[in-house]
Amino acid sequence: MKGVIATRAPEAVVVDVTHGIPPHAVLVGALVLQQAVPYFPLGTVHVGVVDPGVGTERRALCIVTHAGCFVGPDNGLLSLAADTAGIRRIVELTDERFFISPRSATFHGRDVFAPVAAAVAAGTPATAFGPECTDLLRLHLPEPVRDGSAVRGEVIYVDHFGNLISNLTPETFPSGKFVVSVEGTRVGGPVTTYGDVAPGTTAALVSSFGLLEIAVRDGSAHDVLGHGAGSAVVLTPENGG
């Protein structure tokens, strides 16, 4: 992909956000992209490829937003970031003149998304790539569930440090004080930062991504607790529930 961009948009500055999204984890990629975009310059071209449906009927898109342009598969990967940035126009990538030819059936990152992103970076308007469309496939965080006065969420992924990242944002928290438990293990109320607890202690806190996470200071919550994606995370008001 970088070779294609270097060839077709030699002036473009290419920045790797991450190569660490687990295979097929479209939602994780969507969350990471959503969190990264606000820190990049306006007008940046964002290319995302977590693309298990490559070669199927899933469309390829260029989404023009108020923050910049998004190029990738229409599988939800771009949807969280694009909606947050404010969508101005969605174009389906159909004009094969922009693609690498012959196009492989399994690596559209290289053969479709990279050359289109290079064309955007080189000044081609999005409307050149194909017809405008009005919708895209949207992903959503699994919705937390109210359970009496408690709120029940889940671990959506385990990050590089072994932190368990949940689908719980501050807007979903119970009012007042509450304690966090993961698969029945009580972790305590949320703290502000890792240093608020002793080394080796498990704690819940709101990550730099705005999602509640369970962490072990100077350690790996994944290793220590044995929990991972799908594990239940429950917030219970401190006065019972």
Place of tokens 């998304």: 113
Among 148, 170, 195, 226, binds a second copy (CB under 8 A): 195
By CB under 8 A, residue 13 contacts a second copy? yes
User: Among the candidate windows 69-77, 132-140, 200-208, 231-239, which touches a second copy by CB under 8 A?
Assistant: 200-208
218 binds a second copy (CB under 8 A): yes
Name 10's Cβ contacts closer than 8 Å, sequence gap at least 6: none
- Judged by CB under 8 A, which of 52, 142, 148, 188 binds a second copy? 52
Hey, how many other C-beta atoms are within 10 angstroms of the C-beta on 19? Answer: 5
Q: Which of residues 61-90 bind a second copy (CB under 8 A)?
A: none
Q: By CB under 8 A, which span of 130-138, 180-188, 214-222, 230-238 interacts with a second copy?
A: 214-222
| Cβ closest to a second copy, residue 45 vs residue 150 | 45
Q: State which of residues 29, 65, 110, 235 lies at the interface with a second copy (CB under 8 A).
A: 110
The footprint of a second copy (CB under 8 A) covers 1-4, 6-7, 10, 13-17, 23-24, 36-41, 44, 52-58, 100, 104-107, 110-111, 160-162, 192-196, 205, 207-208, 217-220
